[in-house]
């Protein structure tokens, strides 16, 4: 039985029945599952979440009684995969112990100058940091562990290999994507005389195979990989996970089993780095907004877009890659990506047994040391930019093992190099600056002994939720870095206002959230300047103004409030535009149309 092939046929035909099923299927079904339930024939691969860990046996019994076939257990989200009849989906939602049913949807895998461009080479030369002692989990297509560039003093630096596709024991990579990613993170460049060294060549790798030889997989495979990472995080000191794979977004990150599973890792203190996706242009070559893929759409994930280093180590000529997905996130409209890193023409390791070795033969590169195969491959994509940041985080964690996921993200954004050419939905906080990030991480580890670094060229801002916050100085003891504080929250779990740091000119003045009035109906973000990254509105103290001109964006603020949130029914009397046009600058193809009935978000058809 080959359920993946059968499923593909049904998914392709599902959209024709969406409107018919939308209003009659219970809310426990995800949007894609609702479409499948409307078919009333055939089978679908699903992920069924129980309402608690104790519900597992009842869920299994319900699957059996529905005529389904049980699959893998996903303990990280109290779930089970299954293949069930579409006609049984509605009935399954009647069980009180079933919390949600989602389609097990597909995922895909989306350096010679890179390390120098971001400053990693300077950090290695200055402090000797190479990621040693830090465990990195790579969830991808596998790895050619025998590649010379992954060798260490005691053999391969691949500490553990888990095959969630074919169940094989020995490490392998029949696609080649994972090996390339592994080399960006931790290749030592031995076959190129060190020229094509990765960002953190001393890091140890846990590699989990979730993509097959064609670069395809399912989100349940990724969730199962998360399960295994949680099991092994202490034994292997796993501090960061790299996901250069992505899935389409069909529901809020608050309901998607993939993003919820990623949150379990972050809650356990593991940084989850995800590629933003490669949907920055439509088929006509026009820029698109709103193309961030899952799980990068979730605020707790560190989402990385792609920059182009132009083949030089000079940061001044860096530009955005035209394919890099822009924010905001679909459905929830939160600001993404978090930052960008080199992702064009990245030279890293080749897997001679992988599909890419044949299909991308023109991109293969020789080393400087004799080998019986071409050991390097040049690839482009946000799949390549994500591991650049993952390697940077390994360096940061070697310098300061005490950093939490929130602290890591804040430091990376604060030290990033912002370009005046691009908005925050394109570049996030800016272009990654490994040198600055490690320097600030060192200060966080010993603030009394290591002075606050020079901030020359830094963005000196963080994007906290949808708000771009600037003019403050991050401090190690700020409560925003606690593991139980959600990224973008105004309050901690104990009800205190979130704080990020201080005013560098008046250290007694806290940089953080505070109530705007006695009723706390809105949040003012400390002193200085803040901006809404999605709407383009800036505020300095109580004075708010539109950051984008009226000719470009129309009205972007509610005249009765300090900020506008998505889902508002405020009538602006015009169409609000965030970016795309027909190429001539005068026809809106992406924006929010508001009438007397309220506001309706209109997405560029090229997105779906």
pLDDT at 581 over 80: no
Do the domain assignments include residue 599?
yes
Q: What is the CATH number of the domain that holds 358?
A: 3.40.50.200
Using alpha carbons only, what angle is made at residue 226 by residues 99 and 484, rounded to the nearest 5 degrees?
Answer: 75
Asked whether residue 48 falls in the same domain as residue 186, the answer is: no
Say what the pLDDT of residue 112 is.
Answer: 54
Asked whether residue 245 falls in the same domain as residue 365, the answer is: yes
pLDDT at 136 over 60: yes
Say what the pLDDT of residue 485 is.
Answer: 97
User: In Å, how far from its chain's centre is CA 499?
Assistant: 24
Say what the pLDDT of residue 209 is.
Answer: 98
Say what the pLDDT of residue 472 is.
Answer: 93
Q: Which residue from 136, 141, 258 is spatially nearest to 210, judged by alpha carbons?
A: 141
Say what the pLDDT of residue 534 is.
Answer: 79
Output the pTM of the full model. 0.85
pLDDT at 539 over 60: yes
* 254-265 burial: b if 16+ Cβ within 10 Å, else e: ebbbbbbbbbbb
Say what the pLDDT of residue 304 is.
Answer: 98
pLDDT at 283 over 80: no
Do the domain assignments include residue 328?
yes
Lowest mean pLDDT among 218-227, 250-259, 541-550: 541-550
Asked whether residue 240 falls in the same domain as residue 380, the answer is: yes
Among 313-317, 334-338, 569-573, the range of highest mean pLDDT: 334-338
Do the domain assignments include residue 569?
yes
Residues 74, 231: Cα–Cα separation, whole Å: 12
Stated as kind and residue range, the H or E segment containing 50 is strand 43-50
Helix, strand or coil, per DSSP, at residue 217: strand
Q: What is the CATH number of the domain that holds 40?
A: 3.30.70.80
Q: pLDDT tens-digit profile of 222-243?
A: 999 999 999 999 999 999 999 9
Lowest mean pLDDT among 111-120, 316-325, 332-341, 577-586: 577-586
Do the domain assignments include residue 543?
no
Q: pLDDT tens-digit profile of 477-527?
A: 999 999 999 999 988 999 899 999 999 988 888 898 876 555 555 566 777
Average pLDDT for residues 413-425, to the nearest whole number? 93
Residues 389, 402: Cα–Cα separation, whole Å: 18
DSSP result, 482-546: STTSPTT-SB-TTSPBPEEEE-SSSTTSEEE-EESSTT--SEE-SSSEEEETTTTEEEETTEEEE
Say what the pLDDT of residue 541 is.
Answer: 58
pLDDT band at 455 (very low <50, low <70, confident <90, very high): very high
Q: pLDDT tens-digit profile of 5-35?
A: 222 222 222 222 233 333 443 479 999 999 9
Say what the pLDDT of residue 528 is.
Answer: 66
Asked whether residue 71 falls in the same domain as residue 164, the answer is: no
Say what the pLDDT of residue 155 is.
Answer: 84
**Who has greater pLDDT, 192 or 572?**
192
pLDDT at 559 over 70: no
Asked whether residue 313 falls in the same domain as residue 394, the answer is: yes
Asked whether residue 123 falls in the same domain as residue 17, the answer is: no
Q: Which of 445, 477, 502 is the last residue of a domain?
A: 445
pLDDT band at 474 (very low <50, low <70, confident <90, very high): very high
Do the domain assignments include residue 484?
yes
Helix, strand or coil, per DSSP, at residue 30: coil
Average pLDDT for residues 181-196, to the nearest whole number? 95
Say what the pLDDT of residue 542 is.
Answer: 55
Say what the pLDDT of residue 265 is.
Answer: 98
Do the domain assignments include residue 540?
no
Asked whether residue 389 falls in the same domain as residue 525, the answer is: no
pLDDT band at 282 (very low <50, low <70, confident <90, very high): confident
Residues 139, 108: Cα–Cα separation, whole Å: 11
User: With pLDDT > 70 as the criterion, what percentage of the chain qualifies?
Assistant: 80
Say what the pLDDT of residue 608 is.
Answer: 22
Average pLDDT for residues 263-279, to the nearest whole number? 97
Q: Which of 387, 414, 445 is the last residue of a domain?
A: 445
3 state SS for 321-345: CCCCCCCCCCCCCCCCCCEEEECCC
pLDDT band at 289 (very low <50, low <70, confident <90, very high): confident
Q: Which residues are catalytic?
A: 140, 177, 383
Asked whether residue 252 falls in the same domain as residue 194, the answer is: yes
Do the domain assignments include residue 398?
yes
Domain extent at residue 488: 461-532
Count up the domains in the chain and report the number. Answer: 4
Q: pLDDT tens-digit profile of 35-88?
A: 999 887 999 999 999 999 889 899 999 999 999 999 999 999 999 999 999 999
Q: Which of 71, 104, 137 is the last residue of a domain?
A: 104
pLDDT at 556 over 80: no
Say what the pLDDT of residue 545 is.
Answer: 63
Asked whether residue 95 falls in the same domain as residue 114, the answer is: no
Asked whether residue 76 falls in the same domain as residue 130, the answer is: no
Do the domain assignments include residue 491?
yes
Say what the pLDDT of residue 161 is.
Answer: 98
Asked whether residue 494 falls in the same domain as residue 517, the answer is: yes
Say which residues have a Cβ less than 8 Å from residue 309's Cβ, sequence separation at least 6: 113, 114, 117, 317, 318, 342, 344
Asked whether residue 35 falls in the same domain as residue 145, the answer is: no
**Who has greater pLDDT, 155 or 552?**
155
Lowest mean pLDDT among 252-261, 263-272, 368-377, 509-518: 509-518
Mean residue pLDDT of the chain comes to 83
* DSSP conformation class of 293: P
User: In Å, how far from its chain's centre is CA 219?
Assistant: 14
Q: Which residue from 88, 198, 187 is spatially nearest to 434, judged by alpha carbons?
A: 198
Say which residues have a Cβ less than 8 Å from residue 299's Cβ, sequence separation at least 6: 253, 334, 465, 486, 487, 488
Contact indicator for 100, 257 with CB cutoff of 8 Å: yes
């Amino acid at each position: 039985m080959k359920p993946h092939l059968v499923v593909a046929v049904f998914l392709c035909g599902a959209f024709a029945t969406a409107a018919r099923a939308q209003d009659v299927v219970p809310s426990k079904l995800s949007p894609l599952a609702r479409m499948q339930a409307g078919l009333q024939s055939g089978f679908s691969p699903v992920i069924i979440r129980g309402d608690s860990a104790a519900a597992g046996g009842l869920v299994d019994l319900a699957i059996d009684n529905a005529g389904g076939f049980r699959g893998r257990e996903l303990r990280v989200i109290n779930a089970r995969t299954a293949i069930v009849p579409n006609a049984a989906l509605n009935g399954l939602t009647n069980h009180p112990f079933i919390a949600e049913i989602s389609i097990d949807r597909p995922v895909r895998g989306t350096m010679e100058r890179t390390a120098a461009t971001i400053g990693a080479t300077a950090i290695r030369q200055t402090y000797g940091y190479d990621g040693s002692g830090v465990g990195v989990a790579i969830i991808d297509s596998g790895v050619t562990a025998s590649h010379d560039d992954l060798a260490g003093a005691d053999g391969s630096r691949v500490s553990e290999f888990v095959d969630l596709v074919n169940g094989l024991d020995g490490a392998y990579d029949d696609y080649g994507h994972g090996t390339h990613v592994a080399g960006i993170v931790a290749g030592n460049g031995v076959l190129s005389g060190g020229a094509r060294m990765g960002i953190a060549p001393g890091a140890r790798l846990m590699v989990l195979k979730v993509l097959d030889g064609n670069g395809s997989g399912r989100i349940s495979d990724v969730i199962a990989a998360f399960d295994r990472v949680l099991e092994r995080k202490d034994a292997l000191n796993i501090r960061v996970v790299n996901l250069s794979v992505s899935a389409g977004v069909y529901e809020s990150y608050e309901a998607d089993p993939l993003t919820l599973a990623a949150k379990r890792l972050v809650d356990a203190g593991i940084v989850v780095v995800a590629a933003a996706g490669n949907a920055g242009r439509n088929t006509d070559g026009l820029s698109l907004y709103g193309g961030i893929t899952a799980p990068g759409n979730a605020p707790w994930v560190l989402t990385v877009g792609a920059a182009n280093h132009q083949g030089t180590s000079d940061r001044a000529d860096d530009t955005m890659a035209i394919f890099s997905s822009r924010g905001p996130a679909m459905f929830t409209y939160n600001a993404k990506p978090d930052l960008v890193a080199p992702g064009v023409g990245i030279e890293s390791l080749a897997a001679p047994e992988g599909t890419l070795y044949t299909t991308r033969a023109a991109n293969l590169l020789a080393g400087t040391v004799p080998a019986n195969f071409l050991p390097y491959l040049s690839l482009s994509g946000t799949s390549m930019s994500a591991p650049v940041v993952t390697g940077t985080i390994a360096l940061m964690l070697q310098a300061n093992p005490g950093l939490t996921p929130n602290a890591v993200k804040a430091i990376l954004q604060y030290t990033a190099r912002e370009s005046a050419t691009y908005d925050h939905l394109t570049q996030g906080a800016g272009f990654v600056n490994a040198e600055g990030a490690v320097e600030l991480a060192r200060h966080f580890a010993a603030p009394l002994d290591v002075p606050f670094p020079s901030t020359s060229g830094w963005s000196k801002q963080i994007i906290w939720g949808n708000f771009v916050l600037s003019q403050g100085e991050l401090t190690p003891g700020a409560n925003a870095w606690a593991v139980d504080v959600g990224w973008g929250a105004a309050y901690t779990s104990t009800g205190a206002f979130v704080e990020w740091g201080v005013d560098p000119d008046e250290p007694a003045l806290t940089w953080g959230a505070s109530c705007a009035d006695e009723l706390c109906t809105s949040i003012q973000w400390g002193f200085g300047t803040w901006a809404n990254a999605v709407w383009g509105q800036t505020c300095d103290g109580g004075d708010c103004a539109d950051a984008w001109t009226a000719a470009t964006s129309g009205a972007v603020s509610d005249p009765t409030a300090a900020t506008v949130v998505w889902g508002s029914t405020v009538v602006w009397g015009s169409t609000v535009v965030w970016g795309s046009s027909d190429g001539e600058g005068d026809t809106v193809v992406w924006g929010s149309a508001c009438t007397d009935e309220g506001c309706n978000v209109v997405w560029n058809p090229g997105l779906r």
